A and B are shown apart, each in its own frame.
Chain A
C-alpha cells in the first residue's frame, strides 16, 4: 500500500513538472483585414522575443513584420492579414516568449 502511494506521488510530481515545462499560451489580441477572393498563395511572418521575468527594454523586434510579408509577395499585395499577439509562459512567468504572428494571402496583379 505504502509503495503504491509513493509511486502515485512520484507520478504526480513528474506530471506537474512536465505540465510546467510544456508552456501555457495566452492570446492578447487578434485582428484581421479584408480577405481577398484569391486565397491560393499564403504568406506568413513571425517575430518573437524570449524574456526572463519580463525584462524587456524595447519592442523593436516586431518592426520587420510588414517587410517580411512583402518580401514573400514581390509584385503583388498581401491581403487578409491575420495578426495574433500571444504570450507563451514556460515556467510561472519567470521565462516566457512574446510572439507576434502575421499571415495573409499574396494576391498578384492587384
Chain B
C-alpha cells in the first residue's frame, strides 16, 4: 500500500515537472494569434495525471503548474485567471472521463480546451473592467477547441504507445 502511494507521488511529480516545463517553454513565445491563445501543451500531462493517477493528483499537478509556472515566467496576474479556468475545465474533463466508453479522449480534451479559454476571457474582462475584450471570445473558443483536439490527440498517442511496464504497479 505504502509502495503504491510512493509510486503515485513519484509519477505525479514527474508529470508536474513536465507540465511546468511545457508551460514555461510555451510562455517564452508570443501568443498564437491573440493574447491568451496558446496550445496548452502542459494540459497533456494534467489529463494524463487524471487518467493514470486519479482526480486528486490531476488537481495537484494543475495547481503546481499554475502557481509555479506563472511565478517562474513572471506573469503573476495570470494566476487569477488561470486558477478558476483551470479548475472548472479540469473538473468537466474528469467528469467526462466517465463517458469514455461513448466519447473519445479527443472530444473530452476539446471541450476542456474550449471552456478553459472562454472562462479565462470572461474573468479577464470582469477583472479589468473591459467588456470590449469579450469580442475576442468567439475566436478564443475556436482556438481552444483546436488546441484541445491537439492535446487530446497527444494524450491518446502517449497512452497508445507508452509501454505498459513504465506504469506497472500504479494502475
Do these two chains interact?
Answer: no
Chain B positions near chain A (C-beta within 8 angstroms): none
Interface residues of A (CB under 8 A from B): none
